[in-house]
């Protein structure tokens, strides 16, 4: 082969003013026209192109590449890699052919681009399905949520593999992260805390990759209350504080994180700081919203009755029975004002349990028994670790002085045992242990 820097191939390429991208496009199209099977996908890398036009090729390319080059230039491959003839005619220029070729190339490349995206309808439907599941979470058994969220996560990943459009990839990352967050909450409600923590971290990674701070903040807050249930109190407080550092959050997200921080401080015994955090949860805010806690909402939201229930539990931790009773009553009143179909039975059950515990702390056994009435209606599939932790605390109080000898206390303690034993969470594992719930 030629040892010179000037070859016929190089001259022909220069005459056509082809850059590498132009040469590669023509090469790929010619290969698809004349070759069969997998050889149709034959391409040439930029480094190959540089070698071929450098004049330092020692041997001819493979047979298929030679066929394509001969088709492109109408010249024998051996001549292409040899020196150019002394008098080389200028290539004929046909404007009509040039326009037609450009049109075909544009159509082909547009079709290839379209094939590398997904339809807006598909993306809209997936977004709607994830939002619907988040909003229906409170009315569904945790296992049903788990199963549906798993399907939606797999669908989001399949669609993400299909598209090469950056905006679609980013949205699918966010949707996959939302499904992971719902899977984490369902795993938590089923009592699988280690898996819930792993899924939370996966959700946070999706949020980080998509540069979507609200998802990272939500996952960080969820990790904090999982830490409480695993007796990692200092870790829970650290995670709660770290989650508040994210930007782009609305008022709902801020109140949720403040409630989580209050609970963390209550667990570690810092009553003064816990009260300050509780005060933050009562601020009206500045009217800010975000695309997760407000637009999707549902399980990602933190409505007024959920906030009141959370604050009632924090008050119990710091020994404020009066504050706990007031917050629990407010939660129950707000929930009762909603239509039955949109009422979250877990929140009602959790608030009822907190109200009962607050009344036990001030010596009102009859009032505590009456307060538990809505809790018994929580279906077995929605008896989360939060509710079971609350009922465990009530049972301990009923079986200790001054209540343990009261027939009514004995009866309710036995009923709590049955309530726990038949719950789906209890069937899966040992549950959350003795700590009170953050959100239930």
Query: Domain of 432?
Result: 303-440
Query: Does any domain span residue 207?
Result: no
Domain boundary among 89, 119, 149: 89
pLDDT band at 229 (very low <50, low <70, confident <90, very high): confident
* Cα–Cα distance measured from residue 303 to residue 397, given in angstroms and rounded to the nearest whole number: 30
Report the pLDDT averaged over residues 100-114: 61
What is the pLDDT, as a whole number, of residue 146? 96
Query: Does any domain span residue 49?
Result: yes
* Cα–Cα distance measured from residue 116 to residue 395, given in angstroms and rounded to the nearest whole number: 59
Query: Does any domain span residue 360?
Result: yes
What is the pLDDT, as a whole number, of residue 17? 83
Could you tell me which residues come within 8 angstroms of residue 338 by beta carbon, excluding any fewer than 6 positions away? 305
Please tell me which residue, 435 or 344, carries the higher pLDDT value: 344
Report the pLDDT averaged over residues 188-211: 95
* Cα–Cα distance measured from residue 151 to residue 147, given in angstroms and rounded to the nearest whole number: 7
Query: Does any domain span residue 321?
Result: yes
What is the pLDDT, as a whole number, of residue 21? 84
Could you tell me which residues come within 8 angstroms of residue 282 by beta carbon, excluding any fewer than 6 positions away? none
Is the pTM value of this prediction over 0.85? no
* Cα–Cα distance measured from residue 387 to residue 188, given in angstroms and rounded to the nearest whole number: 12
Query: Does any domain span residue 438?
Result: yes
Residue 125 has pLDDT above 80, yes or no: yes
Report the pLDDT averaged over residues 353-359: 97
Please tell me which residue, 27 or 312, carries the higher pLDDT value: 312
Q: Does residue 158 sit in helix, strand or coil?
A: helix
223: phi then psi, degrees, rounded to nearest 5: -60, -35
Query: Does any domain span residue 223?
Result: no
pLDDT band at 435 (very low <50, low <70, confident <90, very high): very low
Residue 439 has pLDDT above 90, yes or no: no
Residue 141 has pLDDT above 60, yes or no: yes
- For the chain, percent of residues with pLDDT exceeding 90: 58
What region does 6 belong to: left with phi over 0, alpha with psi -120 to 50, or beta?
Answer: beta
Query: Does any domain span residue 269?
Result: no
pLDDT band at 438 (very low <50, low <70, confident <90, very high): very low
Query: Does any domain span residue 154?
Result: no
DSSP label of 300 = G
Report the pLDDT averaged over residues 126-131: 97
Please tell me which residue, 181 or 28, carries the higher pLDDT value: 181
* CB distance 10 to 55 below 8 Å: yes
Domain count, the chain: 2
Residue 109 has pLDDT above 70, yes or no: no
- For the chain, percent of residues with pLDDT exceeding 70: 88
What is the pLDDT, as a whole number, of residue 437? 37
Q: What are 46-76's pLDDT values in tens digits?
A: 888 888 888 777 888 888 988 989 888 888 8
Please tell me which residue, 66 or 324, carries the higher pLDDT value: 324
Candidates 277, 270, 263, 272; CA nearest to 312 is: 263
Domain boundary among 89, 119, 137: 89
Q: What are 243-264's pLDDT values in tens digits?
A: 999 999 999 999 999 999 999 8
């Amino acid at each position: 082969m030629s040892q010179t820097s000037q070859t016929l191939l190089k001259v022909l390429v220069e005459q056509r003013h082809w850059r590498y991208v132009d040469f590669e496009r023509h090469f790929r199209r010619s290969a698809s026209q004349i070759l069969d099977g997998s050889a149709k996908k034959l391409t040439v890398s930029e480094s190959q192109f540089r070698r071929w036009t450098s004049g330092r090729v020692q041997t001819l390319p493979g047979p298929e590449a030679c066929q394509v080059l001969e088709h492109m230039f109408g010249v024998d491959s051996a001549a292409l890699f040899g020196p150019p003839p002394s008098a080389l005619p200028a290539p004929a220029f046909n404007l009509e052919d040039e326009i037609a070729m450009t049109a075909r190339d544009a159509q082909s490349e547009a079709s290839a681009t379209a094939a590398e995206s997904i339809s807006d309808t598909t993306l809209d439907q997936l977004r709607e399905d994830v939002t619907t599941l988040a909003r229906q979470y409170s009315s569904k058994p945790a296992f049903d949520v788990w199963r549906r969220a798993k399907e939606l996560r797999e669908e989001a990943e399949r669609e993400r593999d299909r598209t090469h459009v950056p905006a679609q990839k980013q949205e699918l990352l966010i949707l996959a992260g939302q499904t992971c967050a719902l899977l984490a909450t369902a795993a938590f409600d089923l009592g699988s805390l280690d898996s819930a923590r792993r899924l939370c971290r996966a959700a946070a990674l999706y949020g980080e990759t998509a540069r979507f701070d609200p998802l990272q903040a939500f996952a960080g807050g969820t990790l904090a209350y999982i830490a409480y249930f695993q007796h990692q109190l200092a870790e829970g407080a650290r995670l709660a504080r770290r989650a508040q550092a994210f930007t782009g959050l609305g008022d709902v997200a801020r109140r949720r994180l403040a409630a989580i921080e209050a609970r963390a401080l209550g667990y570690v015994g810092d009553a003064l700081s816990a009260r300050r955090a509780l005060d933050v949860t009562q601020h009206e805010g500045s009217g800010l919203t975000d695309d997760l806690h407000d637009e999707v909402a549902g399980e990602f939201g933190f409505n007024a009755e959920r906030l009141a229930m959370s604050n009632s539990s924090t008050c119990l931790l710091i020994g404020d029975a009066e504050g706990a009773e007031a917050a629990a009553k407010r939660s129950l009143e707000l929930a009762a004002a909603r239509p039955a179909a949109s009422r979250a039975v877990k929140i009602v059950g959790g608030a009822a349990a907190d109200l009962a515990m607050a009344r036990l702390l001030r010596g009102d056994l009859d009032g505590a028994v009456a307060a538990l009435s809505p809790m018994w209606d929580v279906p077995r599939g929605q008896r989360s670790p939060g509710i079971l932790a609350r009922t465990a605390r009530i049972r301990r109080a009923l079986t200790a002085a001054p209540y343990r000898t009261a027939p009514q206390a004995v009866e309710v303690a036995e009923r709590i045992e049955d309530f726990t034993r038949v719950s789906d969470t209890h069937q899966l594992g040992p549950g959350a242990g003795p700590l009170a719930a953050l959100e239930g």
